[in-house]
């Protein structure tokens, strides 16, 4: 159980740092990676897809 929960020595980040997928998604959309959440990036991608139809 300690291995699953990280035990008392677990390090929990205090700020939301973007992962690799988030960075690639933002780069693909040509927007700043730190000003948009992954949910916002997803919405922007679907908005662009619907504009193409």
pLDDT at 14: 53
Q: How many residues does the chain have?
A: 53
pLDDT at 10: 59
DSSP assignment, residue 33? T
d(CA 47, CA 14): 31
pLDDT in tens, 6-47: 556 655 555 566 788 888 889 999 998 888 888 898 898 888
pLDDT band at 1 (very low <50, low <70, confident <90, very high): very low
The residues, ordered by sequence, that sit 6+ positions from 34 with a Cβ below 8 Å of its Cβ are 18
d(CA 48, CA 28): 12
CA atoms within 13 A on the CB side of 17: 4
DSSP assignment, residue 7? G
The predicted model scores a pTM of 0.55
């Amino acid at each position: 159980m300690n291995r699953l929960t990280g035990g008392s020595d677990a390090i929990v980040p205090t700020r939301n740092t973007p992962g690799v997928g988030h960075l690639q998604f933002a780069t693909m959309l040509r927007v700043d990676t730190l000003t948009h959440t992954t949910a916002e990036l997803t919405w922007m991608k679907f908005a662009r897809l619907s504009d193409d139809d």
